[in-house]
Amino acid sequence: MKRAMDVLLSLAALILLAPVMMIAAAAIVLESGAPALFRQVRVGLLEREFGMFKFRSMVQNASSLGPHYTRDHDPRVTRVGRFIRTTSIDELPQLVNVLLGDMSLVGPRPSLPLQRELYSQEQWALRCSVRPGLTGLAQALLRSAGSFEESLELDLRYVREAGCWVDLKIMVRTVRTLVSGRSN
């Protein structure tokens, strides 16, 4: 049931959001050149690595200019990049990952392989026991304002309580959070 919901809703979202995605891609290319998308290796269900799609929000070759994480006022983030990050438009290409089965609409956000060392063996195994999500309980409640520990606690809580009804509530909360621009 969850997979069917993922496919139907992600396909509908891709169709409805296609104009927004085309405008975002054009703005990225006009500001800083092609490509508009980039693919980053992330860890998914059962520790399987996959290429997660995002709109590029940084200058080209940003990884060679700094760390794998961004910091406040990171000079590698473009003007368009700041906007698409603030509005989460940069995440929309992950709807394709949902269609491909690499991700779900709801689940813990997918980790980078090198982030494995931040988790205990039990935490890592639990996170990898479900498909990672485009949004999750941590994003719905905290957006990106929470600490690593707070996000981890909410990710593990989600895994323990997962279900279609929980997913629907998280999706509604995520939309409310995005529209309001604040964490709940």
pLDDT in tens, 137-146: 988 888 777 8
DSSP 57: -
Question: What tokens were used for 145?
Answer: 């304002």
On average, the pLDDT of the chain sits at 90
Q: Tokens 């080209």 correspond to what residue?
A: 60
Residue 156: band (very low, low, confident or very high) from pLDDT cuts 50, 70, 90 = very high
**Secondary structure (DSSP) of 78-117:** -HHHHHHHHTTGGGTTHHHHHHHTS-EEESSPPBPGGGGG
Instruction: List, as one string, the DSSP characters of 118-154.
Output: GS-HHHHHHHTTS--EEE-HHHHHHTT-S-HHHHHHH
pLDDT of residue 63: 65
37-43 and 133-135: which strand pairing?
unpaired
| Residue range of the domain that includes 174 | 2-180
More confident residue, 159 or 69: 159
Mean predicted confidence (pLDDT) in 65-78: 66
Say yes or no to pLDDT of 109 above 60.
yes
Q: Which residue type sits at 23? A: I
Query: pLDDT (tens digit, 9 = 90+) per residue, 23-55?
Result: 999 999 999 999 999 999 999 999 999 999 999
In this predicted structure, the answer to whether residue 59 has a pLDDT above a threshold of 80 is no
Could you give the CA distance from residue 168 to residue 170 in angstroms, rounded to a whole number? 5
Q: For residue 97, give every residue at least 6 positions away whose Cβ sits within 8 Å of its Cβ, in sequence order, or none.
A: 50, 52, 53, 103, 134
Give the global pTM.
Answer: 0.88
Kindly state the percentage of the chain with pLDDT values over 90. 72
Q: Please tell me the predicted confidence (pLDDT) of residue 157.
A: 95
Average pLDDT estimate for 61-70: 60
The H or E element containing residue 63 is none
pLDDT at 69 over 70: no
Please give the pLDDT value at position 86.
87
Q: How far is CA 107 from CA 50, 135, 174, in A?
A: 16, 6, 12
Interval 175-181 mean pLDDT: 79
The domain total for the chain is 1
